[in-house]
């Protein structure tokens, strides 16, 4: 974990970035949010069931609901739920007898998610304010945990996985999409706050990430899917980010490209042992 002062700077930078996503139409992880981009992650059928405004505040790098294997009546928890896209998709899967809960630290995201839930008529969703390192959730009360490109942003990933383990029921499932490193980042990129907020600099090596999940107590940990980026895609992300910035980045373009080429979007499943 970074030193306290550095960790506070990271949290502040991440919060600032995601407030912009909540109040604008920026995306952190896979260029600007629009249906053509999101169709690379979600199906057209999925996108048709959620409010448009949810898509506008998208910050996804995968679709954890697709690997969660949700069943009617289950309780599902989304770590870092944002404007609620994955919560709404999960709510459809678990039905009126189940419940989908989203936890997010930003009031702006929570306000938007609650308004959209009311607008869309969801009766089985709930959004709670909190940090994923200290979940406002009762121990052993959740069947499935999902998360989408959020855990990499945390400065204390051991704590995140420990909390996930705590709130899951015995036999519960962890189904996450997140960014990991397949090779080392350029030195200049490692402490760059803009790249941390863009889900790059905070990413762990894939083996280290898996080790932390296992250390929390999870079993049957498996990477089900892995997507890497082409140089063309990486340059597209960087150009899009440059358009949205009002100031020049401290990081040169070539270093940023190399950083994006070092990451992969993994979909990972794991289980809490049955009692």
Mean pLDDT across 233-237 = 84
For residue 217, give its domain range.
4-179+193-228+265-271
Burial 4-42 (b: 16+ CB within 10 A, else e): eeeeebbbebbeebbeebbeeebbbbbbbbeeebbeebb
> In this predicted structure, what is the pLDDT of residue 91?
97
What is the pLDDT confidence band of residue 248, given thresholds at 50, 70 and 90? low
CA atoms within 13 A on the CB side of 154: 23
**Quick check: is 102 in a domain?**
yes
pLDDT at 25 over 50: no
**Quick check: is 241 in a domain?**
no
Contacts of residues 1-7 at CB distance under 8 Å and 24 or more positions apart, as own/partner, are 1/155, 1/156, 1/158, 2/155, 6/155, 6/191, 7/155, 7/156
pLDDT at 177 over 80: yes
* pTM for this predicted structure: 0.91
**Quick check: is 254 in a domain?**
no
User: Is the torsion defined by CA of 182, 188, 193, 198 positive or negative?
Assistant: negative
CATH code, domain carrying 26: 3.40.50.150
**Quick check: is 153 in a domain?**
yes
31 vs 120, more confident: 120
CA dist 173 and 110 (Å) reads 25
The proportion of the chain whose per-residue pLDDT surpasses 90, expressed as a percent, equals 61
89 vs 247, more confident: 89
Look at the chain and report how many structural domains it folds into: 1
Mean pLDDT across 186-201 = 87
Mean pLDDT of the chain: 88
> In this predicted structure, what is the pLDDT of residue 238?
80
**Quick check: is 135 in a domain?**
yes
User: Is the torsion defined by CA of 224, 171, 180, 67 positive or negative?
Assistant: positive
List Cβ neighbours of 230 (8 Å cut-off, separation of 6 or more).
Answer: none
Both tokens of 196, joined, read 């941390």
What confidence tens digit (pLDDT) does each residue in 45-92 have?
888 888 877 766 677 788 999 999 999 999 999 999 998 999 999 999
């Amino acid at each position: 974990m970074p030193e306290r002062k550095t960790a506070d700077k990271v949290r502040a930078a991440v919060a600032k970035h995601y407030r912009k996503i909540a109040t604008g139409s920026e995306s952190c992880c896979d260029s600007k949010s629009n249906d053509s981009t999101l169709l690379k992650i979600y199906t057209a059928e999925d996108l048709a069931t959620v409010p448009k405004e949810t898509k506008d505040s998208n910050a996804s790098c995968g679709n954890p609901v697709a690997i969660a294997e949700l069943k009617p009546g289950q309780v599902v928890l989304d770590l870092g739920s944002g404007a609620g896209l994955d919560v709404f998709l999960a709510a459809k899967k678990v039905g009126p007898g189940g419940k989908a809960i989203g936890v997010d630290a930003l009031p702006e995201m929570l306000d938007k998610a609650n308004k959209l839930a009311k607008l869309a008529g969801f009766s089985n969703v709930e959004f709670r304010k909190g940090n994923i390192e200290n979940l406002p959730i009762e121990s052993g009360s959740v069947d499935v945990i999902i998360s989408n490109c959020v855990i990499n942003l945390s400065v204390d990933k051991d704590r995140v996985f420990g909390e996930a383990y705590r709130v899951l029921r015995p036999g519960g499932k962890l189904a996450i999409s997140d960014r990991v490193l397949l090779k080392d980042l350029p030195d200049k990129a490692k402490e760059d706050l803009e790249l941390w907020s863009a889900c790059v600099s905070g990413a762990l090596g894939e083996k280290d990430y898996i080790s932390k999940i296992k250390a929390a107590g999870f079993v049957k940990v498996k990477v089900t899917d892995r997507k890497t980026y082409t140089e063309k895609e990486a340059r597209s992300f960087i150009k899009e980010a440059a358009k949205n910035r009002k100031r020049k980045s401290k990081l040169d373009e070539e270093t940023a490209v190399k950083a994006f080429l070092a990451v992969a979007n993994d979909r990972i499943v794991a289980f809490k042992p049955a009692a």
